[in-house]
Amino acid sequence: MARIVMKFGGTSMAGIERIRSVAARVKREVAAGNEVAVVVSAMAGETDRLVNFCREASSLYDPREYDVVVASGEQITSGLLAIALQAIGVPARSWLGWQLPIQTTNAHASARIDEINADALITAMASGEVAVIPGFQGVAEDNRISTLGRGGSDTSAVAVAAAVKADRCDIYTDVDGVYTTDPRIVPRARKLSRVTYEEMLELASVGAKVLQTRSVGLAMKEGVRIQVLSSFDDPNNSATADTLPGTMIVGDDEIGDDMERQLITGIAHDKNEAKITLIEVPDKPGAVARIFGPLADININVDMIIQNIAHNSGSTDVTFTVPQAELARALDALAKAKEDIGYASLVHDSKVAKISVVGVGMRSHAGVASAMFKALADRGINIQAISTSEIKVSVLIEEDYTELAVRVLHTAYGLDAEDVVE
Ligand code: ADP
Ligand code: ASP
Ligand code: MG
């Protein structure tokens, strides 16, 4: 007998038929004698729809009210799954974020989980009742509903797994594992049977949305075993999750000196960034702090940053990227701080994409970045900004070239599978 957390994403919960199929899969785990908690996402497309309502209502929406709106998608699917489970004879009930509770910070729309009180869950699970938990939501210090940022149900699942000391955290999605790049863009992408926490963390942070970044960081910190697998396999076949061929996220020690380990683990893209350039910022101490301070105050994460060399006039241009969803708020904050920062003008561009290559092999091999720049140059793709970390190189390019850039790099680093006909 094991204690397991099963998480089902939006496509897996999209409609009553799919929810019935999820219920059958959960029943199989219960029948195998396991204690089960299920974390669910909203139906595919639902959160986007709710976010758009907020934007339509006001581009400068109050994040606390945004949370009230967008958290509702998961409330619906958690209730529906509990009903579907009861209908096939599996005792089940839903536990909303505030009922457990899942305590979070006050950073509405991108809150972090502080603590989960798992007592009620553990008691329910031990009694044979399946606990169905809406992902993505919690209750903030201000006692109002909060959400964990897009894709946050993964983090809910890992946090619940850590809180109940689960033996496994199985993340069911619409692909059967983590691939060398998004398999919807590159059919020749290869499935990885194991990925280290560190590489997955980096891949997720640069756009491989198969797992939310925070979920991987939390799993690494708490030692939660994550498996990514498909909910679209036949739920009635006799295999249990232990034997399904998904991707395990593992510690570095579990991979060891795998001979087949590639220099590059994967390539990711992110179209959700927007570029802002402040023109003629005074080139003196404190100028950059005055730009990024107001953004940090409203919880906006700045990613790539370039400060150009000074003009003769003693001023400089500063370019950086912010999440596209935060662009309106960022522009508003920068407009308010215009006098204090002292810039002459501002331009912004949402039609950009960040392409990243990730691999721990970079630590010991030179030339990864130059190979990237050359492969892109050969296709006439212009690089607008660059950032690097120990195991990653990212470039910002025009959005229209995203798919081409990912394909070209996938081939350039020798990641293409051989047996796929495109
Ligand atoms: P869910 O709703 O189940 O949380 P998501 O849409 O958030 O699913 O994540 C799954 C999607 O992630 C896949 O459909 C795939 O298009 C995308 N994806 C991006 N990069 C990768 C990758 N490296 N490996 C697998 N899937 C990836
Ligand atoms: N429904 C939320 C989203 O679409 C959370 C999740 O699915 O993980 O971002
Ligand atoms: Mg997701």
**Looking at residue 420, what is its pLDDT?**
60
Instruction: Count CA atoms within 13 Å of residue 223 on its CB side.
Output: 5
- Centre of ligand 2 from the C-alpha of residue 317, in Å: 36
Please state, in angstroms and rounded to a whole number, the distance separating the CA atoms of residues 3 and 34: 6
390: its two tokens = 């120990």
**Looking at residue 259, what is its pLDDT?**
47
Ligand nearest to the CA of 48: 2
**Looking at residue 27, what is its pLDDT?**
97
In a mutational test of the pocket of ligand 2, which residue from 47, 145, 215 has the highest number of ligand atoms less than 8 Å from its CB? 47
Closest CA to 213 of 331, 359, 112: 112
**Looking at residue 364, what is its pLDDT?**
84
Neighbour-count burial of 391, counting CB atoms closer than 10 A to its CB (0-12 exposed, 13-18 middle, 19+ buried): buried
Q: Which residue type is seen at 27? A: K
Task: Quote the longest CA-to-CA distance of the chain.
Answer: 76
Q: Could you please report the per-residue DSSP string of 341-373? A: HT-SEEEEE--EEEEEEE-GGGGT-S-HHHHHH
Please state, in angstroms and rounded to a whole number, the distance separating the CA atoms of residues 170 and 284: 51
**Looking at residue 309, what is its pLDDT?**
79
- Centre of ligand 1 from the C-alpha of residue 176, in Å: 9
- Centre of ligand 1 from the C-alpha of residue 332, in Å: 32
Does residue 10's CB lie within 6 angstroms of at least one atom of ligand 2?
yes
Ligand nearest to the CA of 42: 2
In a mutational test of the pocket of ligand 2, which residue from 77, 136, 213 has the highest number of ligand atoms less than 8 Å from its CB? 136
**Looking at residue 245, what is its pLDDT?**
74
In a mutational test of the pocket of ligand 2, which residue from 12, 38, 41 has the highest number of ligand atoms less than 8 Å from its CB? 41
21: its two tokens = 């199929």
12: its two tokens = 């897996």
Alpha-carbon dihedral 404, 406, 409, 410, rounded to 10 degrees: -120
Q: Which residues line ligand 1 (CB under 6 A)?
A: 9-12, 41, 151, 173-175, 178-179, 181-184, 208-210, 266
**Which residues, 6 or more positions from 161, have their beta carbon under 8 angstroms from its beta carbon?**
5, 168, 169, 219, 222, 224
Does residue 153's CB lie within 6 angstroms of at least one atom of ligand 2?
yes
Does residue 214's CB lie within 6 angstroms of at least one atom of ligand 2?
no
Is the torsion defined by CA of 24, 29, 34, 38 positive or negative? negative
Q: How distant, in Å, are the alpha carbons of 116, 207, 273 from that of 351?
A: 39, 16, 8
**Looking at residue 189, what is its pLDDT?**
96
Atom of ligand 2 nearest to the CA of 136: 5
CB 116 within 8 A of CB 103: yes
Neighbour-count burial of 263, counting CB atoms closer than 10 A to its CB (0-12 exposed, 13-18 middle, 19+ buried): middle
Does residue 207's CB lie within 6 angstroms of at least one atom of ligand 2?
no
SS3 at position 194: strand
Set out the domains of the chain in order of their start, with CATH numbers.
3-255 (3.40.1160.10), 266-412 (3.30.2130.10)
Please state, in angstroms and rounded to a whole number, the distance separating the CA atoms of residues 281 and 315: 5
In a mutational test of the pocket of ligand 1, which residue from 43, 173, 181 has the highest number of ligand atoms less than 8 Å from its CB? 173
Does residue 8's CB lie within 6 angstroms of at least one atom of ligand 2?
no
Please state, in angstroms and rounded to a whole number, the distance separating the CA atoms of residues 108 and 139: 10
Give, using CA atoms, the residue closest to atom 8 of ligand 2: 151
Atom of ligand 1 nearest to the CA of 12: 3
303: its two tokens = 């990613």
Q: Please report, in tens digits, the pLDDT of each residue of the chain (422 residues total).
A: 899 999 999 999 999 999 999 999 999 999 999 999 999 999 999 999 999 999 999 988 999 999 999 999 999 999 999 999 999 999 999 999 999 999 999 999 999 999 999 999 999 999 999 999 999 999 999 999 999 999 999 999 999 999 999 999 999 999 999 999 999 999 999 999 999 999 999 999 999 999 999 999 999 999 999 999 999 876 555 455 555 579 999 988 887 665 456 789 999 999 999 999 999 999 888 989 999 999 999 989 999 999 887 777 889 999 999 999 899 999 999 999 999 999 999 999 999 999 999 998 888 888 899 999 999 999 999 999 999 999 999 999 999 999 999 999 999 999 998 866 55
Q: How many residues does the chain have?
A: 422
**Looking at residue 123, what is its pLDDT?**
94
- Paired sense of beta strands 226-230 and 168-173, if any: parallel
Neighbours of ion ligand 3 (CB under 5 A): 9, 151
Give, using CA atoms, the residue closest to atom 4 of ligand 1: 9
**Looking at residue 243, what is its pLDDT?**
57
- Centre of ligand 2 from the C-alpha of residue 113, in Å: 16
